[in-house]
Structures are given as structure tokens and as C-alpha cells.
Chains A and B, each alone.
Chain A
Amino acid sequence: MFVDMVSARTQAGRLWNLQRQGQVGTLAPIDGHEATIAATAHALDPAHDWILPQYREPLALQRYGPEVLDRYMLYNIGHPAGSCLPESVRVAPLQISLATQIPHAVGLAWGMTLRDELGVVTVFFGDGSSSEGDFYEAGNLAGVLGAPVIFLCMNNRWAISTPLHQQTAAETIADKAAAFGIGGVVVDGNDAAEVYDAVDEARQRALAGRGPTLIEARLYRLGPHTTADDPSRYVPPEEIEAARRDDPVQRLGAHLTDLGLWDDDAQVATETAAMARIDEAFEMALATPIAPDAVLDHCFAQDTQRMARQRDSLLGAPEAGR
């Protein structure tokens, strides 16, 4: 799990540079969220449990297979295959429209129950998303159905520039679980072990048919919202300094070093492997071909009459262009 966290942090740095070089598009850095995401993934069973991400998670989802990073690099260069994971990988495409994935998670968990499939659905979202109607509507439905869902709110204190106190007057986001009639817990999102235990417990509860859980993981967004954001315009410097002193990667690293389970050699070896891995994924992404009419693929199962003409027109067929 810690290897995943260190790899994610390392690869985030590489991605940042690629973005600054104009080689990948706008993206949302993972910095500060590594412990919560990696610990959640490790508490789940990739063969049975789904993850519905928002958009900050992929680098720390190694447990769900190397395809997650491969496709994430495709996604970052704007390749259409970037949102399509193989059937065996129970991770949904990234979600840009905030909170819309939360009702999907409940529907998916509901459908799994109807099909007698054993497993849980974990859906990631942020403190900002907890203001969206979809969060409340989905939480309410999950409560009514007792669906096997884990609502994982990464409360990183900022929705771009909107601080938590302007997002909600509630003392905790987990308190909102009361409105759904489900359990809600607050965990330290910088403490991987605490997150792991909370997700494991929520998962056991869901699998036992005792319904959904809302987990609020409190952490801090150590980077900008996205590569297009400048947090120095709104984040108080002393606040970010304090947050850096509680960096989840450094914290677990120090703990493991104290226990004799981690050292500089392990750190360097992990960073080197992570760099090689992301560079390999990036090269593979760049080498992945795109059909000349790919823009028209997968809209419908079959082209409509009109789309068939549009495809002909795009491909320069002699009869096209009507």
C-alpha cells in the first residue's frame, strides 16, 4: 500500500512536468489524497468490488491493475480509449460532472443485488460534491434500498477556491448520513491505516446486507485544484504549510522507517520503478492508434442513417456531403 502511495506521489510529479511541457492536458493532481485512495483500494476486493472515481484517483489505484495507469495516460493525452477499462477491471471512467457518479454507484450496487452478485460499490467524491443534489438523492435512495455502497467523501477542504465553511454549515459531512438513515464516520484521511479499517468495516457491513456507509476522509489538498489553478490566490500560506507537515506519504514513510520496514534504498527503488512505469505508460499511450473516423464510434450501437452519412463525409467518400 505504501509503495502505491510513493509511486503515486512520484508519478504525480512526472505528470505535472508533462503537463507543463504541453504533452498532456489539464489534470487534477493527487497530492495529499494518496493515503485515502490507496488504503481504500487495498481494503476492497478488485475481483468483486467496484470503484467509481471522480477524477483525482487513478495514480493510487494500482491495486486494480496496471490498466488503470495505462488508460489514465491515454485519458491525459485526450485519447478516446482513456475512459475505457477492460471488462475485468471494476473501475468506472473518471467523472467530470461532480457528484453525478453517486447515483450511478447506488444503481450499480442495486443491480448487483438484483443479480445476486456479491460485492460492494465504492464511490469517491469531494467536499464540494457534497453540496450537489445527486449526493443527497443518491444517499437517500441507498438508505431506502440498503444498497451495498460505500460513499467515500475526500474532504480536502477546498472546492477549487471555496473553503469548507462556505460549502456547508454542518459540523461534519459524515453528519449528513443521518438524513439518509445510514451510518456515517469521520476518519483521518492522512492516516492510511485508519482509512483502511473504516473501509474494511463498511465493506463487511455492506456484504452482510446491513447497507451503505458514508465515510468522510479528512485530508488536505496539497496541490492546486488542477494544473490550470493557482491556489496562491486563495489558500492562506500558513494553512498549506501546516498541511504539508501532516503530509500522508511522509507520515506513513516516517512510521514505517521507525519500524524498520522502509529506508532510503526502498524509497529510491520505488521512485525509480514508478518513473519507469509512467514513462512506459506514456509511450504506450502515444503509440496507440486512432481510427480516422473514431470520433463517430460508440455513440450508438449502430450508426443512424444520418451518422452513416456523416461518417462517409468525414472519410471523404465520393457520394458524401449531402
Chain B
Amino acid sequence: MTGTSEITMLQAINESLHAEMARDERVVVLGQDVGRNGGVFRATEGLFEKFGESRVVDTPLAEGMIAGAAVGLAMAGMVPVAEIQFLGFSYQAMHQVAGQIARLRYRSQGRFEPAITIRSPFGGGVRTPELHSDSLEGQLANLPGLKVVMPATASDAKGLLASAIRDPDPVLFLEPLRGYRGIRGDVPDGEHLVPLGQARTARAGDDLVVIAWSYQVEVACRVADSMAAEGLSVGVLDLRSLVPLDIAAIAGAVDHCGRAVVVEEAAQTGGFAGEVVATIVEECFWSLEAPVTRVSGFDVPYPVGMLEGAYVPDEARIATAVHRTLEMA
């Protein structure tokens, strides 16, 4: 009989990796420290012992090579699940991610199936050294051919990762550093699949919807809960994946509420929140009762630890944006 267990997002990811490796022998895990060490966060713990050194591979230290080798593995018919230890280090893999992985299917006109998953932690709140916290989802979403998946709950982390690994397209699976141990929840035991491209209503609400992804969904939910105490009905829509984007869910939520706030951790200019706002304008212009507000990081590089509290959107900034948007005529 299948029940649920209360586990962390990290445990959910680990469970999903175990299940997918057991299900499909073509799945190989590669990256730095993913083998004997079980990953620097232990996301790959136990895989090396269970599936052996030929399927769980500690690679030399070179992000571009990890991404490039994944292309070749996919060409050979394998299903590589690569780990880039921190998303900020993927700048050194970007020529392979953007120039090769994203376009492998297109440039080969479907001959090669890039069933590649790249897992990578990102995001603020844990006072990491430089370049460990960058949010690059906007850049990645602007690369046609890539899917960008960003779970906000432990259950989704398990179910979306399984779907990502089974997906025939390349998926950047971005895991919030703060959520690894900071997010817990009931996760279905056994096989659990969450389809890519379907947003989730994290909180139902009538007055305004906050649209967010990854850890900011958690923050937005705390805001919605405290607003409920003030008698305000604030909903939260968790996009789950930026590509594919659930346009219908965004339109449905905004049409219903007439007001929206979009939250992201990345720098504002050129960020994905702008894409969400543009989608709202295209889909819901005549339902809008107020301008849509963005809450983003600032237009600076991701800062050092003592400054990140000012950079990363928090409950106060989101609450201010929600109040302002609700007060506009």
C-alpha cells in the first residue's frame, strides 16, 4: 500500500534519483563529488554504493566537459543526469548548455534525443561564497530547446525530477539551496510523477495572486497566510516550470483576481518575471484592475553574505508590493 512520508526536499530528490536509476538502467549520474561523497549536499547519497562506479561517476573538475560529455552520452542512447555543483559555476558550462545541449534535437532535426537532465542548486539565504547563489533561470529560459524546472515543495521535487529524467528534452532542474533542508513535506512513497508544464495553486485567493517559483513560493505562502489574518484573500501560483510555461494557469489566476505580483530572486532587468508580466498583459489586459508589480533581486551581481538579506526578496518586500497593488484603484 502506498502512503506518504514527511521528508525534506533533499531526501525527496535523493529518493527520486534512486527510483529512476533502478527503473531505467540507461540512467547515469555524473558530476563532481556525486559518487563516493554522495554529493556535497548528499543529494546523490547511496547511489554509488547501490548502482556502482560505472553508473555514478565522479568526473574531473570541468563543468563544460560535464555538460559536453552528457551530450555524447545522450547520443549513445544513455540518459545522463549531470550535476553542476552550484548553478553559478554553470557559466563555465554555458557554451555546451546553450550552444549544444539546447539545440541538439533541433540541429540534428530529431535524430539525436537530448534526454539530459542537469541538476543544480542555486539561490540565496545560506550565505555561500561568491557565485554559489546566482539565479540564472531567466537566461536559461531564453535558450530555446531547454526546459527549466524549479520545484518549490518536497513532493514536487520528487515528482518533477522523475518527470525530468524521463522527459525526452533537456531539463535544467534547479534546486533551491535554502529548500534542501528548509523545505519539508508529505511526499508520496513509491512512484510519483508530476507532469512538466503544469502550474500549482499553492494558495487559493480572490483579491490578488502572487506568482512565484522555487523557494519564493514558500515565502509568498507565508505572506498570503499572514494577509489572511488581515482579512485579505491572497493566492499563490507556483509555476513549477518556466519552460514549458503554463500560460493558461497564469491567465486563469490573474483573470480571477484582477491583480498580480510576480516574485523572482534574480536581477530584475531581463529576468523571467518580466516574461510573466508580458504574458499577463497579453492574456489578461482587460481583467487587470491594477498594474502588475515585480519583486526581484536588484540589478547587481549576487552579493556577499552580509548584503544578501537586502537583495533576496523577503516577506516584507512581497507584503509591501501586495499592499501597494491592492491599494491601487
Contacts and interface: CB of A to CB of B under 8 A. Distances in A.
Interface of A: 80-81, 83-85, 87, 92-93, 97, 100, 102-112, 114-115, 117, 121, 133-134, 137-138, 140-141, 144, 297-301, 304-306, 322
B111 interface: yes
A84 to B, nearest CB: 4
B68 A299 contact: no
Nearest to B68: A103
A92 B76 contact: no
Contact of B109 (A83, A92, A301): A83
A134 B107 contact: no
B76 A107 contact: yes
A300 B65 CA distance: 23
Contacts of B54: 114
A140 B197 CA distance: 38
Contacts of B270: none
Contacts of A93: 107-108
Given A100-B100, A138-B65, A306 B71 contact: no
Q: Identify which of A137, A138, A305 gathers the most chain B CB atoms within 10 Å of its CB.
A: A137
A300 B107 contact: no
Contacts of B244: 300, 304-306
B76 A108 contact: yes
Contacts of B62: 133, 137, 140-141
A322 B75 contact: no
A299 B145 contact: yes
Contacts of A102: 68
Interface residues of B, number: 48
Contacts, number: 142
Interface in B44-75: 54-55, 59-60, 62, 64-65, 67-75
A117 to B, nearest CB: 8
B99 interface: yes
Q: Is the interface of A mostly helix, strand, loop or mixed?
A: helix
A107 B77 contact: no
A265 to B, nearest CB: 40
Nearest to A87: B111
B65 A103 contact: yes
A305 B105 CA distance: 19
A305 B99 contact: no
Interface stretch (B118-126, B129-137, B245-253): B245-253
Contacts of A85: 111
A123 to B, nearest CB: 10
Contact of B64 (A80, A117, A137): A137
Given A108-B76, A305-B245, A306-B247, A134 B105 contact: no
A304 B243 contact: yes
Given A134-B64, A306-B247, A97 B95 contact: yes
B69 A305 contact: no
A104 B71 contact: yes
Nearest to A138: B65
A102 B67 CA distance: 12
B76 A111 contact: yes
19 contacts: A102-B68, A103-B65, A106-B69, A107-B68, A108-B72, A108-B73, A108-B76, A111-B72, A111-B76, A115-B76, A117-B76, A137-B60, A138-B68, A140-B65, A297-B109, A301-B169, A305-B197, A305-B244, A305-B248
Q: Identify which of B69, B145, B246, B247 gathers the most chain A CB atoms within 10 Å of its CB.
A: B69
Contact of A84 (B68, B108, B246): B108
Q: Identify which of B106, B197, B282 gathers the most chain A CB atoms within 10 Å of its CB.
A: B106
A73 B77 CA distance: 28
Contacts of A121: 72
Contact of B76 (A114, A134, A138, A301): A114
A68 to B, nearest CB: 14
Given A304-B244, A305-B245, A107 B75 contact: yes
B72 A105 contact: yes
A105 B167 CA distance: 23
B10 interface: no
Contacts of B144: 299
A300 B70 contact: no
B248 A110 contact: no
B283 to A, nearest CB: 7
A110 B77 contact: no
Contacts of B156: none
B68 A111 contact: no
B107 A83 contact: yes
